[in-house]
Structure 1
Amino acid sequence: MATASNPARPRAPHLQVYTWGPHMLVSILHRATGSGLATVGTILFVWWLAAAAAGEEAYATFLDVFTLANGRLNVVGWVLGVGLTWAFFQHMANGIRHLFMDLGANFELRANKQSALATLIFSVVATAAFWAYIVLGR
């Protein structure tokens, strides 16, 4: 009879069996950022269209949230702007990672984990660089 401590016994594919790794994290983040970008982007686009159609006052309210005024941005604008920017860069980097995997490369565990970490690092650095460029001037 096989026991639970027997290492030769096959394991069922369950989350408690797998060890958590960066490749699992970026897989989940890829789905979440894709859904988030689509949902939040659609909501903001509809808000922009409705504000433009509603007149100058409604459009000015929209612009107050999403534009720099005296070097300051509304907190909602910061959260949405930085969050959407990070989600875009993370989704893009992981999409490029998956492109290479679709070509048959990067299936070795070590290289796969390194590329997953690279997407996380790239997304943070690219977001910081993008917002530094926006805020500090051109």
Structure 2
Amino acid sequence: MAEAKRIERPLSPFMIGPYYRPQLTSMSSILTRITGNALIVGIVLMVWWFLALAAGPEYFETAEWWITSWVGNLVMFGSLWAVWYHYLAGIRHLIWDSGHCLDIPTAEKLGWACVYGSVVLTVLTVIIFWI
């Protein structure tokens, strides 16, 4: 009896490297999960700010200093980008769930639309609300 030739296939996209070529759809899915979890940092910082506001002027002064420092601004800017990216990726998944745009070229265009759209919307939000 002849031996069946086993086809070498990747087991998981988390085996990126010699076994798996990164694709935009898989990377954007991973980035959606990362941004969703990273939003927790911004939320914790904002909750701390509100609690400090309720606790008194000396606590609020400390929290205000941290949020308006370069570290706080960087976290808030990153959180703003994460909100927009996560929102656009959610819309993309709703489109896919409806059975539309599932072919690879269109799916990649939607992935790039999430990336570019989140950057543009973040910059517009900063221009409109912080300047």
* TM-score normalized by the length of structure 2: 0.81
* Superimposed CA distance per residue, residues 24-56 of structure 1 (whole angstroms, 9 cap, x where no aligned partner): 11100111111111x214422431243123211
Aligned to 1:99: 94
Whichever residue aligns with residue 49 of structure 2, its letter is: W
Consecutive aligned runs of 4 or more in structure 1 exceeding 4 Å deviation:
1-4
Aligned to 1:36: 38
**How far apart, in 2, do the equivalents of 1:49 and 1:103 lie?**
39
Deviation at 1:107, TM superposition (A): 1.1
Aligned to 2:25: 23
Deviation at 1:85, TM superposition (A): 0.3
- The answer to whether the 8 A contact 2:10-2:20 is kept is no
How does 1:1-138 map onto structure 2 within 5 Å?
1=3, 9=7, 11-14=9-12, 15=15, 16-37=18-39, 39-66=40-67, 73-136=68-131
Deviation at 1:79, TM superposition (A): 0.6
* Superimposed CA distance per residue, residues 98-123 of structure 1 (whole angstroms, 9 cap, x where no aligned partner): 00000001210111111001100111
**How far apart, in 2, do the equivalents of 1:125 and 1:2 lie?**
52
**How far apart, in 2, do the equivalents of 1:22 and 1:12 lie?**
16
Q: What are structure 2's unaligned runs of at least 5 residues?
A: none
**How far apart, in 1, do the equivalents of 2:101 and 2:36 lie?**
22
* Superimposed CA distance per residue, residues 84-104 of structure 1 (whole angstroms, 9 cap, x where no aligned partner): 000000000000000000000
- The answer to whether the 8 A contact 2:25-2:107 is kept is yes
Percent same amino acid at aligned positions?
A: 32
Cα distance, 1:48–1:82 mapped onto 2, change above 3 Å: same
**How far apart, in 1, do the equivalents of 2:23 and 2:9 lie?**
18
Deviation at 1:129, TM superposition (A): 1.3
Whichever residue aligns with residue 52 of structure 1, its letter is: L
Aligned to 1:69: none
After superposing the two structures, state which structure 1 stretch, 12-21 or 86-95, moved more.
12-21
